[in-house]
Amino acid sequence: MARAMFDYTKAVLKKVSFDVNLFCKELKKALERLLPHEIEELKIWVNSLIQQNPQLNQCLIYLPE
């Protein structure tokens, strides 16, 4: 079940990556729902997505260190 939520989160973030505000909003929601090890995976995935869409860089402030 938890893996399904992680995959769903990635799909949603990919779909809203055209809009920085939507992306940040969905990223914040994802961080409330995911497990700690999934958040670590998500950070790696988001960083690779930001390389393709540099405008999303400002959303990195929501990711934990």
- Per-residue pLDDT of 11-53, as tens digits, reads 999 999 999 999 999 999 999 999 999 999 999 999 999 999 9
pLDDT, residue 64, reads 87
pLDDT bucket at 1, cuts 50 / 70 / 90 = low
In whole angstroms, what separates CA 12 from the centre of its chain? 9
CA dihedral 33, 35, 37, 41 (to 10 degrees): -20
pLDDT bucket at 65, cuts 50 / 70 / 90 = confident
pLDDT, residue 2, reads 60
Please state the domain count of the chain.
1
Rounded to two decimals, the pTM is: 0.90
- What is the residue range of 8's domain? 2-62
